[in-house]
Structure 1
Amino acid sequence: MATDLNAPKKPKKKFQFPHVFILLSCVILLVAALSYLLPAGTYDTVIDPVSGSEVVDPDSFHYVESTPVTLMQLVASYSNGFQAVAPLLFMTMAVGGTFGVIHRLGIIPAMVSFASKRFRTNRLLAIPILLLCFSALDTFLGMPELCIVFLPIITPLILSLGFDSLTACAVVICGNCVGFSTGLGNPFTTLICQKICGLPLYSGLWYRAICFVVFYGITVVYVMRYALRVAKDPQSSRCFAADQARRADLKEAVVEKLTLRKKLAAGFIATLFVVNVVGTFLYGWDVPEMTGIFLIMGFGSAVISGTGLSKACLMFVDGCKDILQGALVMCVARTISVVMEQGNITYTIVHGLSEIIAYFPQVFTIVGIFLAVMLIDFFIPAGSGEAVVVMPIISPLAEILGLSKQACVLAFQFGDGWSNTIWPTTASYMATLAVGEIKWTDWQRFQLPLFCIWFVVGALMLMIAQLIGLGPM
């Protein structure tokens, strides 16, 4: 049969990543399969006399009866994943609903208009300033959940300056991660690890401060390069279409000037925001308290501005709708950890990695710890939870191998912190992406190169710490 050379060629299909629900479900199936391949194991727990925390006994690992995940457990694990992350899920919805109310009242557009005028002459200053604020705050607070709080506040500002929603997410998440990972006084990783290792609290501060400056500088350059590219070619952004709609909403909303009652509502919102941060820092407030404050913030501002509660409820529901898909992604991601726990293979993996680390040459052992913590963070994404599992194993290992315990604490901080930005099991960052309406696959394309830079520089900083014998003070 003759071929028609003039016939139009069929366009080649471009590869498209599967939906994030499919990707996460594949990981869940893989973890369930591992429960049949790996033996179940566990550690005994004891009360650490120094920290007062319940920690694992590093010498108590033992295998237990195999508990492979059954088909019905696998099916039910999605519901269990939702239950496990319920407080954070409700906080995410509360934040989305609250900022839906505030935005529809016209308060956010007015605040954005004011801030954008201040940055009009040099809009690029906004990125390093905001990155410094978020990283400096979180290096002492250690609260990734605050990303969910900050993102709705700065996104309209970032958009008004000509950047995109991904830039806003990068400023909040990467800034948070720099502070969390270098941890000058992070109570959930640095201080717990130092207590378990018997080190003076806040010791090694000078070296972590150097790490903070180095990683802050790297992050500023990386985020600003991306932001400049988007500013020059807005259509290169993967969120271009969605951001166009957001900008249109902002322009329409700014037309209306704030009344006296709405200005009072803005003051009420600002006051409660400060109360939320102070309460977290001074009184140890967690997700439930923060959620309650946001609910008061949303409905209280509506009442003060003269909007009826029924109308405020409709605004709140609309705000929740905007982040529903991302919130569901966070819940599905938590299912991975649930399946790991059901199969009793989490501690088996931790034990296996600790055995492998011992075979590394001394100067590279510290990098091996860094890698091991990074992998374990996929299965135990909570910083404090991972610390009480991993550090009692690393601390005696450091003594046997002649490693600096301070360097080991830093290796834990880096391994736990940097990996949070790429693992889908990190609920707080997944919730932040949900609030920003950023696809997880788009975030990976942006974040992976920066993660690789962080990893290489982090490995070098750890080897230097080991070579100089980073001490307790």
Structure 2
Amino acid sequence: MEKNTTTKKKGFQMPHIYVILFLFSAIAAVATYFVPAGTFERVPGPEGRTTIDPTSYTQVESTPVGLIDFLTVIPRGLIDAGEVVFFTFIIGGMFMVLRRTGIIEIAVDNLSRKFANNSVLLIPILTTVFAVVATLIGTPELSLVYIPVILPLMIALGYDSMVAAAIALFGTVIGFTAGVLNPINTGLAQKISGLPVFSGMGLRLIIFIVAVTMGVLFIMRYANKVKKNPMNSLVYEDDREKREMYQKVGNVEKIKATPRQKYAALATLVFFGILVYGVIGHGWFMVEMSGLFIIMGIVVGLIAGLKTMEICEGFNQGFRDVLVGAIIVGVARAVAVVLEDGQIMDTIVNSLGSLVGDLPAVLSAVGMYVVQLLINFIIPSGSGQALVTMPIMAPLADMVGVTRQTAVLAFQLGDGFAHILYPTSGYFMAALVIAGVPYQKWIKFFIPLFVGFVILSVVMLIIAQSIQWVG
């Protein structure tokens, strides 16, 4: 009987993510032989950032990426993405130290008992909180912090790692995309476009509410299926070890914290308070957060009574657990390295931008959205994409009869939701590995909702274009 249940029909299997990213890099390298090389002139932009002069595009001598150059793109991608790579390692190490102190298991035990009869309520609560934070400060990378915190809880409550990843990733990407008061995408794009910063808040708030509702209902539907029958989980086999570790929590006698563990838990909250203060008040990003997490792991571990050797081994084990995710980040960056070496990234951006001008007026806003969606694959950064595309899209919007406010919205929607779809998005791939969710299974899970997000985006842009939205 066991033999029959494990037998599967042979069919198409998604290649390993390493293979996918290598093929993308190879295709990009081949393209450097056929796509004309070209560049925009870089000029000072808002807040001291470098942007482009949209009228300065010129073709330059072709610099195709040869075999020897191609051999180095993955190592160079790892170097270029070093900030994300090492952040992934450090956050994995820090949370492993916290697990060794026992305070995570105690927190999970308490929360799982409290929400035992209403566990599904945690999904809208956590998703909305994460979305609100992201729409105010614009840091979807915080999903890397959220996932290790909520993952044990979701497993203990009878869900799976896909639910934990979805709560963190959906919440942060929806908040970031809607950008009600997000300085990273909305604020910067509006500055570049010559618009009042954070104008048009009303329509963005509507998009925020609708998208959060869609995300929450989507997660809850899947979570209820897993709760009723764990075999419905897309990551049932991947979660085997986690279920053995966490689902026993809450089913035995309540875990009592020692005085040292209580002090360690208090210190953890203090460190997270410092993290929030640093991100909001001083613009901290991955380097500063990494440094804080190293100190946090050491201090909390010592307070909880761990020996220095145990703390070091905790970091080492955490590093090993997220190794694949950290490497994927660098491999994904290799695609952009190839396009930059071949000097065809600006050519691609210029060509896609020009295509929008050939569309009927009513479809111009949608065309801008599609262009931004495509460009996001090679520039998976909100601020980076704004600095490259908005100097082109803002004046182009004037020419085709689209308001600049709508052009900014097209950028937000095209840039945002795809952050948790494309394998070239570094923090996203790292988040999946921290959650223990294979990329192929995430795509199977997420594609239906992504299609819903695309429909929402197109509808909102048609409405904005129809009313000639100015904010």
**1:387 matched to which residue of 2?**
386
CA distance in 2: counterparts of 1:263 and 1:144, whole angstroms: 30
1:118 is the counterpart of 2:117: no
Cα distance, 1:58 vs structure 2: 0.7
**2:169 matched to which residue of 1?**
173
CA distance in 2: counterparts of 1:168 and 1:91, whole angstroms: 20
Q: Note if contact 1:322-1:437 (Cα within 8 Å) is conserved in structure 2.
A: no
- TM-score, reference length from structure 2: 0.95
Cα distance, 1:208 vs structure 2: 0.4
CA distance in 1: counterparts of 2:303 and 2:260, whole angstroms: 6
- Point out where structure 1 has 5 or more consecutive residues left out of the alignment: 1-9
Q: Note if contact 1:326-1:437 (Cα within 8 Å) is conserved in structure 2.
A: no
Counterpart secondary structure, 2:183: coil
CA distance in 1: counterparts of 2:44 and 2:21, whole angstroms: 35
CA distance in 2: counterparts of 1:12 and 1:287, whole angstroms: 44
1:65 is the counterpart of 2:64: no
1:416-439 Cα offsets, whole Å, 9 max, x none, are 001111111111111111211211
Which amino acid in 2 is paired with 1:15?
F
The equivalences for 1:54-453 within 5 A come to 54-250=50-246, 257-453=256-452
Cα distance, 1:43 vs structure 2: 0.4
Cα distance, 1:243 vs structure 2: 1.9
Counterpart secondary structure, 2:43: strand
CA distance in 1: counterparts of 2:301 and 2:76, whole angstroms: 35
Q: Note if contact 1:239-1:438 (Cα within 8 Å) is conserved in structure 2.
A: yes
1:38 to 14, 35, 39: 35
1:237-282 Cα offsets, whole Å, 9 max, x none, are 2321232311222356777532101110111111111211221011
Taking a change above 3 Å as real, the CA distance of residues 299 and 346 of structure 1, as seen in their structure-2 partners, is same
Cα distance, 1:362 vs structure 2: 1.1
CA distance in 2: counterparts of 1:136 and 1:404, whole angstroms: 27
- Point out where structure 2 has 5 or more consecutive residues left out of the alignment: 1-6
Which amino acid in 2 is paired with 1:338?
V
CA distance in 1: counterparts of 2:421 and 2:413, whole angstroms: 13
Counterpart secondary structure, 1:67: coil
CA RMSD of aligned residues (A): 1.5
CA distance in 2: counterparts of 1:87 and 1:202, whole angstroms: 29
Q: Note if contact 2:88-2:325 (Cα within 8 Å) is conserved in structure 1.
A: no
Equivalences, count? 462
Cα distance, 1:202 vs structure 2: 1.2
CA distance in 1: counterparts of 2:460 and 2:234, whole angstroms: 34
Quick one: percent identity of the two aligned structures? 38
Cα distance, 1:52 vs structure 2: 5.0
Cα distance, 1:11 vs structure 2: 7.7
**1:466 matched to which residue of 2?**
465
- TM-score, reference length from structure 1: 0.95
Q: Note if contact 2:362-2:465 (Cα within 8 Å) is conserved in structure 1.
A: yes
Cα distance, 1:236 vs structure 2: 2.3
Which amino acid in 2 is paired with 1:262?
Q
CA distance in 2: counterparts of 1:117 and 1:251, whole angstroms: 12
**1:5 matched to which residue of 2?**
none
1:23 is the counterpart of 2:20: yes
